[in-house]
């Protein structure tokens, strides 16, 4: 299922980008092009939290996927006006991301890899579409096939949604949160977790500003690095734990910022994108009953980076430090409340102490 949804993510972003590319080729008025691109992005990212919230309240993933493909197909009809088509494509994209993201977060509740793998393919689809390398019809056909398989696969999985890592892994040490909730200080817990989510979303905003890049002549180079970074971030975090991964990301950023040239720029983009599955998963663990809302909010936080790319005069050094601090703060808080797994999820059953230091494991 994860592979199908990942492939569908590639195709959904691809069809939208390919349609926008064809529109851009035909439209001589740059102001109109900017308006349509802005409209598409606002529709695709700005309302994902709402679609995610609706899916959290009523987890109708299969109808959402089917509807998203219908909306994308409508958006490809050339007879409609460009703003309407951008809106339809954005709405289809939004619905797919909310449904796919919520499904992946809720079905794989205690690991970082799956969200990373799911989000990784979008950048490549987007780049292929924007470069005009694959026709929208091909992407759309792939979308329809993937949606069919996904709906079939989702029907075979039981309908329950696992909650926090503690619930998903019975036998783990008891959570401090339950004990804390019985005291007067327990009222603070939702606020602390809300604060954690805000900090993590701020990390996503920073990544929206600092995680980009492009290489003239090689349009697929940076998108492939983005995808690799997102996928590797989750895999590395599952293998070595949150603390080691956050530290590795910070040190990679530091190393990349000491040199000029293409390879350090790629390394910086890779490191920034490694944080994507970490922020997603940690935010989900803050509110495990709302995976759709969390995924949608995280997607919406990429919008400032799109609309105000040049407005933020923050040096990349500060971004690297702030992202590391955000992960550290959120990891420490979640470890304190027993919401981090006691050990990296994919290692053997050998016991390790819980939350020994810093950002936990």
Partner 1 sequence: MDALPVLVGPCLVTRIELGFALLTAAIETPVFWLCGYRRAFQCLCFAGVNLVTNLLLNEGLASQAGLGHYEQAVAIGEALVLAAEFALSRCFTQGSAGRLFLTVAATNLASFLAGIVLFW
Closer by beta carbon to partner 1, 148 or else 316 = 316
Closer by beta carbon to partner 1, 164 or else 279 = 279
Residues 68-103: b if buried by 16+ CB within 10 A, e if exposed = bbebbbbbbeeeeebeebbbbbbbbbbbbbbbbbbb
Minimal distance, residue 158 CB to partner 1, in Å: 40
Closer by beta carbon to partner 1, 73 or else 321 = 321
Cβ atoms < 10 Å from Cβ of 268? 25
| φ and ψ at residue 232, rounded to 5 degrees | -65, -35
Tell me the CA distances in angstroms from 154 to 2, 61, 133, 269, one per residue in order: 11, 8, 31, 34
Closer by beta carbon to partner 1, 168 or else 329 = 329
Minimal distance, residue 202 CB to partner 1, in Å: 14
Q: In terms of Cα–Cα distance, which of 150, 205, 157, 105 is closest to 11? A: 150
Give CA–CA dist 37/43, Å, rounded.
Answer: 10
* Residues at the interface with partner 1 (CB under 8 A): 215-218, 243, 247, 250-251, 254, 257-264, 313, 315, 317-318, 320-322, 324-325, 328, 356-359
Closer by beta carbon to partner 1, 18 or else 242 = 242
Minimal distance, residue 251 CB to partner 1, in Å: 8
Closer by beta carbon to partner 1, 3 or else 262 = 262
Cβ atoms < 10 Å from Cβ of 179? 11
Minimal distance, residue 120 CB to partner 1, in Å: 24
Minimal distance, residue 335 CB to partner 1, in Å: 11
Place of tokens 């327990």: 186
Chain centroid offset of residue 283 CA: 11
Minimal distance, residue 133 CB to partner 1, in Å: 15
């Amino acid at each position: 299922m994860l592979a199908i949804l990942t492939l569908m993510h590639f195709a959904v972003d691809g069809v939208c980008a390919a349609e926008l590319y064809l529109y851009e080729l035909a439209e001589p008025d740059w102001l109109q092009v900017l308006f349509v691109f802005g409209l598409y992005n606002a529709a695709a990212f700005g309302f994902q939290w709402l679609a995610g919230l609706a899916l959290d309240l009523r987890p109708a993933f299969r109808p959402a996927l089917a509807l998203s493909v219908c909306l994308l197909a409508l958006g490809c009809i050339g007879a409609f006006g460009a703003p309407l088509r951008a809106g339809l494509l954005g709405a289809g994209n939004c619905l797919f991301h909310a449904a796919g993201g919520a499904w992946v977060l809720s079905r794989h509740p205690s690991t970082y890899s799956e969200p990373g793998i799911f989000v990784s393919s979008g950048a490549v689809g987007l780049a292929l579409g924007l470069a005009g390398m694959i026709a929208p019809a091909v992407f759309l056909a792939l979308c329809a096939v993937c949606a069919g398989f996904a709906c079939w696969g989702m029907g075979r999985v039981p309908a329950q949604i696992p909650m926090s890592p503690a619930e998903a892994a019975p036998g783990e040490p008891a959570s401090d949160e339950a004990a804390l909730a019985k005291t007067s200080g327990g009222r603070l817990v939702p606020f602390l977790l809300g604060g954690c989510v805000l900090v993590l979303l701020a990390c996503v905003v920073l990544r929206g500003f600092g995680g980009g890049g492009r290489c003239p002549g090689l349009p697929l180079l940076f998108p492939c690095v983005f995808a690799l970074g997102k996928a590797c971030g989750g895999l590395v975090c599952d293998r070595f734990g949150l603390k080691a991964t956050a530290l590795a990301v910070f040190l990679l950023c530091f190393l990349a910022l000491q040199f000029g040239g293409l390879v350090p720029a790629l390394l910086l983009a890779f490191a920034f994108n490694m944080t994507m599955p970490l922020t997603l998963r940690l935010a989900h663990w803050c509110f495990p009953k709302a995976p759709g809302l969390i995924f949608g909010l995280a997607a919406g936080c990429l919008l400032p980076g799109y609309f105000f790319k040049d407005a933020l005069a923050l040096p990349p050094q500060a971004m690297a430090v702030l992202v590391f601090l955000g992960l550290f703060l959120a990891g420490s808080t979640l470890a304190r409340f027993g919401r981090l797994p006691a050990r990296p999820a994919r290692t053997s059953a050998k016991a390790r102490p819980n939350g020994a230091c810093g950002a936990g494991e």
